A and B are shown apart, each in its own frame.
Chain A
Amino acid sequence: MKVCIIDTGTANLNSVRQALIRLGVDPVISHDPDVLGSADRLVFPGVGSAEAAMGGVNSRGLASFLRQTKIPLLGICLGMQCLGASSSEVPEGSKLEKIDCLGIVPGRVLLLDSKGGRLPHMGWNTVTHVDHPLFEGIRQDSYFYFDHSYAMELGPYAIGTTQYGTKFTSALGRGNFMGVQFHPEKSGACGARLLKNFLDNF
């Protein structure tokens, strides 16, 4: 199986790469649409700001490829947020109201209303999921590792939700497109199982 990690120039790719290697695949890191188009699975990680990640997508000419691909794709953290309609995480001092994202799902990414809880939302929290192949064999309300301040609102494509002040989309699925707000590569046995499900079940 050929797994490609999409390199938008922002993310720390080594952790995701090592997690996939532990599952027995040797992922290729690339931002070339021809290479990515030949993959059996696409992993779209992201760390940093929405502007930097979408900037990386656009400057590499990846937006139309990503919107049209039929290859099973898993967005992680900011990578998942990029699948939404827009993000309100604009650079400090910017006049922009939002950053346009890929619009693969309609959800908006907003500053997490933690109701006084400390931000970033950092640490282990539970995910309540629907019956979806990505969560096969994973107990309801299992703990995953989160590290973020912005989150996608609830919507029709949420397959997992998490409560931190408010409830937000912590996992989404629309056809071949999937995304998780948490870091499966850092989420112990549950995270490893989710990545294995992504490789095995689509």
Chain B
Amino acid sequence: MLARRIIPCLDVKDGVVVKGVQFRNHTVMGSIVDLARRYAEEGADELVFYDITASSDSRVVDKSWVAKVAEVINIPFAVAGGIRTVEEARAILSNGADKISINSPALEDPMLITRLADRFGVSCVVVGIDTYKDPGSGEYLVKQYTGDPSRTITTSRRTLDWVEEVQRRGAGEITLNMMNQDGMRKGYDIEQLKLVRARCKVPLIASGGAGTMEHFYQAFHDADCDGALAASVFHKGAIAIPDLKQYLREKGVTVRD
């Protein structure tokens, strides 16, 4: 059976791994290559590297570290951050990344999803969606440029509409970053994940809010997500990946040994 994926996310800023709370106040967590190797050895199923400054600074992610990561790890990894052209995507993939993940540039230019999917195949193209529950209306809306709080905007796009549109345009996987939860460790927004899951025919990755092992179980069991992504609980050692997998296995979730 296909295993549910545990995906540590490494937010990269200026060549090091950082973590903030609700996308703000970043602190340095360690070197990219060291953390990548550690997670691969501990049993992570996949890694995601987000250059969180890239989109908001209008510059593409510095790619030299992508080749270094590919040298040391033997599991798949995705790179995200300000990828705006087929050429930029090609450079990252040819350096050894397995997938590219696009977020703000897809909102600027939705046809970018199709161009990337046509050139590299849908399974290389992940669309990240930063989604925010508006406290007033209770609606789920898409945010843009979340790497820089001073530039972050709430778009007029409704999350569920955008989920459907990106699939039509060629997204092979969707990562749903639930911003109300990010860094708070209070759990993924399971209600929202269920709504998205019902409209998402491609693999769906939950992101934002994991604090306990039970939160991962909920994402897999309750919301039928294919993968669960987390950062701070892994970086700070609150949850060890082997323990998490053992817990999930005992609860009947299929995970890789």
User: CA separation between A186 and B94, bound complex, in Å?
Assistant: 15
State whether B226 touches A123 (Cβ < 8 A).
yes
Stretch at the interface among B18-26, B66-74, B146-154: B66-74
Question: Taking the complex as formed, is A51 at the interface, i.e. its CB lies under 8 A from any CB of chain B?
Answer: no
**Residue among A18, A142, A143, A183 making CB contact with B70, cutoff 8 Å:** A18
Residue of B nearest to A185 (CB): B74
Question: Taking the complex as formed, is B257 at the interface, i.e. its CB lies under 8 A from any CB of chain A?
Answer: yes
State whether A164 touches B2 (Cβ < 8 A).
yes
Residues of B contacting A12 in the complex (Cβ-Cβ under 8 angstroms): 93-94, 96
State whether B94 touches A123 (Cβ < 8 A).
no
User: CA separation between A21 and B68, bound complex, in Å?
Assistant: 13
Number of residue pairs spanning A and B whose beta carbons lie under 8 angstroms apart:
78
User: CA separation between A163 and B256, bound complex, in Å?
Assistant: 15
State whether A14 touches B95 (Cβ < 8 A).
yes
State whether A143 touches B123 (Cβ < 8 A).
no
Question: Taking the complex as formed, is A145 at the interface, i.e. its CB lies under 8 A from any CB of chain B?
Answer: yes
Question: Taking the complex as formed, is A192 at the interface, i.e. its CB lies under 8 A from any CB of chain B?
Answer: yes
**Residue among B74, B98, B120 making CB contact with A188, cutoff 8 Å:** B74
Question: Taking the complex as formed, is B122 at the interface, i.e. its CB lies under 8 A from any CB of chain A?
Answer: yes
State whether A122 touches B123 (Cβ < 8 A).
yes
Question: Taking the complex as formed, is A128 at the interface, i.e. its CB lies under 8 A from any CB of chain B?
Answer: no
Residues of B contacting A39 in the complex (Cβ-Cβ under 8 angstroms): none
State whether A186 touches B122 (Cβ < 8 A).
no
Cβ proximity bits A140-151 to B, threshold 8 Å, 1 near / 0 not: 001101011100
Residues of B contacting A164 in the complex (Cβ-Cβ under 8 angstroms): 2
Question: Taking the complex as formed, is A124 at the interface, i.e. its CB lies under 8 A from any CB of chain B?
Answer: yes
Measured CB to CB, the closest approach of chain A to B41, in angstroms, equals 9
Residues of B contacting A125 in the complex (Cβ-Cβ under 8 angstroms): 1-3
Question: Taking the complex as formed, is B130 at the interface, i.e. its CB lies under 8 A from any CB of chain A?
Answer: no
CB within 8 Å of A: which residues of B?
1-3, 5, 40, 45, 67, 70-71, 74-76, 93-96, 98, 120-123, 172-173, 201-203, 226-227, 256-257
CB within 8 Å of B: which residues of A?
12, 14-15, 18-19, 21-22, 47-49, 117-118, 120-126, 142-143, 145, 147-149, 163-164, 183, 185-189, 191-192
